[in-house]
Amino acid sequence: MSDKLVVIGDGMVGRRFLEAVVQRDPSWDVTVLCEEPRPAYDRVRLSAFFDGVSAEELSLASDLDGVSVRLGEAATEVDRDAKVVRSATGEYPYDKLVFATGSYAFVPPMEGADLDGVFVYRTIEDLEAIKAHAAGRRHGVVIGGGLLGLEAANALSLLGLETQIVEFAPWLMARQLDEAGGGVLKQHIEKLGIKVDCGTGGSRIEAVDGRLRMETNREGVSFDTDLIVFAAGVRPRDQLARDCGIEVGERGGITTDLACRTSDPDVYAIGEVAAMEGVCYGLVAPGYSMAEVVADRLAGGEATFPGADMSTKLKLLGVDVAQFGAFDGPLATTYLDPANGTYAKLILSDDATTLLGGMLVGNAEPYPLLRASVGGKVPGTLADLLGGGEVEGALPDGAQVCSCNAVTKGEIMGAIHEGCTDVPALKSCTKAGTSCGSCVPMLKQLLAEGGVEVSKSVCEHFTQSRAELFDIVKVTGITTFSELIARHGTGAGCDLCKPTVASILASLSNGHILDGEQATLQDTNDHFLANMQRNGTYSVVPRIPGGEITPDKLIVIGQVAKDFDLYTKITGGQRIDMFGARVEDLPKIWRRLVDAGFESGHAYGKALRTVKSCVGTDWCRYGVQDSVKMAIDLELRYRGLRSPHKLKSAVSGCARECAEARGKDFGIIATEDGWNLYVGGNGGFTPRHADLLLSDVDSETLVRTIDRFLMFYISTADRLQRTSKWVEGLEGGLDYLRGVIVDDRLGICEDLDAMMAKHVEHYADEWKGVIDDPEKLQRFVSFVNAPETPDPSIEFEEVRGQKFPAGTTARSHTQPVLLGTPERK
């Protein structure tokens, strides 16, 4: 007769344990008591539920021989003397018992926490209740600024609610980030229109006029809202163990040794409920290790808990955040780029030779390499790591690539050599990448290192690369995302493929980007044809080709800025940027600008931004060509051209290079005999000088070559790939590019010319298309149910005679940078 094993709980860790037990010793007769009405699901990806991923897609359920899972049946009592677990409907004897009860959402003791409209963020049922309550409402508050809180804020944002995060700690993600990293993360989140109040705690909730009001620990500060979500952390679900006399930790959790045994040798605890030598681990990776340990013990082994790698990498509200290894140490090197919202910190040994840990915000690309290098040599400088520069050496075979499942580089390379030639196969063979997914980029790198050509598929919904999708759309004439995914993809799409396809459709002149289904594919900025700013307002950037503008148009811009009380600033691209526009004012502003002859400057889109110029031969005594006219002609020719990434250009009238053309995607410098054309340059985080493609060409040849360069780039580049990276990645480099677009070695130049001609012929100003269309105008409101009501939460302060977002940023401008700095009048 088989020994009986009872497992209480069927979460991610419990499911991993069941799989391991069946694999190691299938003789066990296993009963699982699952309180939830559904089997195990991926709680790490829970927020994907609000992005269209169904509960079935999140499910981890599988049929396991000898395992009976009793859904919706909670364990109510453990009788250790009788060795029986009881529920409301039955008794289940056991020889061995495993607690996998996980944790519950912590709700601070607060009056009113049980009111209608107050939720926790823990299960699919919680999410379904939040979604139902949010329908038709406009505002939500999340209490908690840690990992769970930011996930909950993302969920409310996806539901279309104005969202506010309230965090008691002085900065976000205080357990994973230091103050600087938390500050950069806050910057990113506020740019998305989500408000963040740190150093603030709730004290009381009450119902007021059909809404909720939360009083805080700050005198006179309260929040009126429609919905409150507690996401302030979790606590181990150890009450059953307490009730039956099993030892629990001082701060909660079932006390276990390194074999996961409790104070009762026939009872084990795994996952978040286990206090391993007094420590509860809140991540899935240590829980998986515990599951393997107990499965080995039940099969007669002697496995012990190997320790926990608490490294974590997430994309929170579109922002990459990662922490690995030690949080602090003898030495630290940091990198802060406020303009690009990037922060990095490496913790080093006292001799600066050994990497102990670190954190990344805004750019987590080097995370897999850094995490795998902890305890060894620092693989490079932060500038190299973040900018894609050269790093030192390759990872050793013993380096752990997947901490969730404790998979080393050596194991992955072994699987590659045995025939696993893509990421799905590696996941199946090694389990690497099957949990949090943060190591998937490293799996792709290791496939390449193993001599395997890595797939360039856009995402899990399309096996094709962006270039292949571009060709499909171009050849078939498909004009909608739904038709493309139905014929050439799977599922419903995601935040990777939707904007990618939207860009392709726009590049091929398939109508206005806010027409019909197209509108649903756009990101926040394209959705409102404006750049969202940190306080939820928008910027307005009319096109000023070549930087040339008449006094009358200058007056119009000044009058518009004055009438709508907009902050104004001249940009580095020879335009005037107006900040602080409320969403409902955007059509009114653009109506006046369009009537004055202005067009959209596409500052919000992956498209041509500007063609900068010097004054050329008209005024400058050194100019040798008319750089202003060339810049204007080029900007008017390529305006509205949608591409994989933003495009910038410049035209200099002589070799003195006042327009800085060699730092642009395509730059032109005048010579005595014509024009020099440079391509593949950019400024930004990793500046790159452009490469000389042609010398001393006439204007017709210049423009024709730029046409082909841009269309070849748009047709073949990967998603979000700048021209600099695209040029560098071309096999054969600049010579190959020259052969394709100048010498026509592939025979495609006629096609590229026709594509550009189509763009020029069909160009239409996007903002004019909005203000002439009553249906499109309906989206430009703060509140759907009160379209005339401005957002009362948007506040400003006056600094230097102009308005700034209210708060510490505005106040910091009043402090002099240098002692004795004169006050600006």
Point out the annotated binding site for siroheme.
658
According to the 3-state scheme, what is the secondary structure of 543-601?
CCHHHCCCHHHHHHHHHHHHHCCCEEEECCCCCEEEEEECHHHHHHHHHHHHHCCCCEC
| Strand blocks (E) in 72-198 | 75-79, 84-87, 91-93, 96-99, 103-105, 118-120, 139-143, 162-167, 195-198
Residue 471: how many other CB atoms lie within 10 Å: 15
Take residue 23 and report the two structure tokens written for it: 């694999």
Q: How far apart are CA 729 and CA 466, in angstroms?
A: 15
Cα gap 274→269, rounded to integer Å: 5
| Angle subtended at Cα 78 by Cα 72 and Cα 82, rounded to the nearest 5 degrees | 125
What is each CA distance from 537 to 445, 530, 540, 686, 824, in whole angstroms?
A: 40, 9, 10, 29, 26
Q: Residue 487, exposed/middle/buried by CB under 10 A (0-12, 13-18, 19+)?
A: exposed
Q: What's the Cα-to-Cα distance from 28 to each of 256, 259, 378, 570, 780, rounded to whole Å?
A: 23, 19, 47, 73, 61
Triad 80, 82, 86: Cα angle to 5°: 75
Q: Give the residue ranges of the annotated binding site for [4Fe-4S] cluster.
A: 614, 620, 654, 658
Burial class (CB in 10 A: 0-12, 13-18, 19+), 419: exposed
**Integer Cα distance of 435 and 42 in angstroms:** 8
DSSP 782: S
- Helix (H) or strand (E) holding 334, with range, is strand 331-337
What token pair was written down for 285?
């990776």
Count of alpha carbons within 13 angstroms of residue 675, beta-carbon side: 25
What one-character DSSP code corresponds to residue 136? T
- CA-closest candidate to residue 241, choices 3, 9, 5: 9
Place of tokens 């299938």: 26
Residue 654's identity, in one-letter code, is C
d(CA 705, CA 551) in angstroms, rounded, equals 34
- Cβ 322 vs Cβ 442: under 8 Å: no
Binding residues: 614, 620, 654, 658
**Whole-Å CA distances, 16 to 236, 381, 672:** 19, 38, 72
DSSP 458-489: SBTTB-S-HHHHHHHHHHH----HHHHHHHH-
Contact 706, 665 (CB under 8 A): no
Q: Take residue 278 and report the two structure tokens written for it.
A: 């007094």
Strands (E), 595-710: 608-613, 647-652, 666-671, 674-679, 691-697
Do 322 and 313 touch, CB atoms closer than 8 A?
yes
d(CA 545, CA 634): 9
Which among 111, 121, 139, 110 is positioned nearest to 210, based on CA atoms?
A: 139
Do 34 and 266 contact (CB within 8 A), yes or no? no
Nearest to 410 by CA among 377, 383, 449: 449
**In 3-state terms, what secondary structure has residue 325?**
strand
